[in-house]
Amino acid sequence: LKIQVARLQMMLKGAGFPEPAQEVVTELKTGLASAYRQLRELLTTFRLRIDGRGLHAAIEDTVQEFRRRGRFAIALQNGLTGMELASNEEIHVLQVIREALSNVEHHAQARSVTVVLERLPDHRVRVRVDDDGIGIEAPESPTHHYGLTIMRDRATSLGGECRAFARTEGGTRVELEFTPATPFRDTLATA
């Protein structure tokens, strides 16, 4: 499809078609590139499994993956180390982190990101991804916020909520909060 759109673009330029027709082809090209990117991310998601090393190792692997890409620095503060969640909760937490980091990578123009996982006093879990990028405009508008919609759907399946909002100090915060289905098991205490 990319080749066909590129050929169409060349034909339109050579045939002297009006600028609006060429703009439509440019939009097609941009949309197709975005679709390919999203498809690659979905394929990564489907291949993603949390192996026997657990959620914490999977989060560290994800952070390292984004660090290797070198677009921004990432600090990880994992206050859930030693705490075990249900398998589906682990997958959703990991995927929300991946989606938030992907959004930072593609949209935020950030220099640094902080990923924070914490256990709240009321036994809820909070996951935050903060960036120092350009911020988010109208996050409540569903148009072109597919990643946010996916993260919210994941939060809903956990009985929680996911929000994205502009931080007062600049940048964006994505925040997931939910109550685990089973009480925390402290894996460090049982080891």
Provide the edge-to-edge strand list for the sheet that holds 112-119.
Answer: 73-78, 112-119, 125-131, 172-178, 161-166
Q: Tell me, what's the pLDDT at 5?
A: 74
Q: Tell me, what's the pLDDT at 41?
A: 61
- Answer yes or no: are the C-beta atoms of 126 and 118 closer than 8 Å: yes
pLDDT tens-place values along the chain, 191 residues long: 777 777 777 777 777 777 777 788 788 887 777 777 666 666 655 555 566 778 888 999 999 999 999 999 999 999 998 788 888 899 899 999 999 999 999 999 999 999 999 999 999 999 999 999 999 876 555 555 678 888 999 999 999 999 999 999 999 999 999 999 887 655 555 54
Fold classified for 52-190:
Heat Shock Protein 90 (3.30.565)
Angle 19-47/87-103 helices, nearest 10 degrees?
Answer: 150
Alpha-carbon span 16 to 156, nearest angstrom? 51
Report pTM. Answer: 0.72
Q: Where are the domains of the chain?
A: 2-44, 52-190
- Answer yes or no: are the C-beta atoms of 103 and 150 closer than 8 Å: no
Alpha-carbon span 150 to 99, nearest angstrom? 8
Side-chain-side CA neighbours of residue 190 (13 Å): 7
